[in-house]
Amino acid sequence: MTDRVSDTSSPIGLIAGGGVLPFAVADSLTARGLKPVFFALKGVCDPERVSHFPHHWIAVGQIGKVVRLLRAENCRDLVFIGTLVRPALSEIRLDWGTIRVMGQVLAAFRGGDDHLLSGIGRILERDGFRMMGIKDIAPDLLMPAGCLTRKTPDRSAAADIAKGLDVLRALSPFDVGQAVVVIDGHVIGVEGIEGTDALLARVAQLRAEGRIRTKAARGVLVKAPKHGQDLRYDLPTLGPQTIENAAAAGLAGLAVVAGNTLVAEPQALVGKADASNLFVVGLSA
Q: Give me the least distance between CB of 40 and a copy of itself, in Å please.
A: 25
* 154/175 with CB nearer a copy of itself: 175
Q: Could you tell me which of 241, 240, 278 has the C-alpha nearest to residue 152?
A: 278
For residue 183, the minimal CB distance to a copy of itself (Å) is: 9
How near is the Cβ of 109 to a copy of itself at its closest, in Å?
11
By the criterion CB under 8 A, which residues form the site for a copy of itself?
A: 112, 163, 166-167, 170-171, 173-177, 181, 186-194, 198, 202, 206, 211-213
**Contact between 268 and 241 (Cβ < 8 Å):** no
Which is closer to a copy of itself, CB of 130 or CB of 163? 163
Q: Which residue's CB is nearer to a copy of itself, number 198 or number 275? A: 198
CB burial of residue 100 (10 Å; 0-12, 13-18, 19+): middle
Residue type, 29: L
Task: Give every strand in the sheet of 220-223, ordered side by side.
Answer: 146-147, 279-283, 253-257, 220-223, 179-183, 186-190
Mention every residue, 6+ apart, whose C-beta is less than 8 A from residue 262. Answer: 21, 134, 141, 142, 143, 235, 236, 237, 238
Q: How far is the CB of 221 from a copy of itself (least distance, A)?
A: 12
| Pick 32 or 202: Cβ nearer a copy of itself | 202
Minimum CB separation of residue 190 from a copy of itself in Å reads: 4
Nearest to a copy of itself of 67, 167 (CB atom): 167
Q: How far is the CB of 83 from a copy of itself (least distance, A)?
A: 14
Q: Which is nearer to a copy of itself, 43 or 112 (CB)?
A: 112
| Residue 270 backbone zone (phi > 0: left; psi -120 to 50: alpha; other: beta) | alpha
Bridge partners, residue 77, by sequence: 130
Q: Rounded to whole angstroms, how far apart are CA atoms 37 and 56?
A: 8
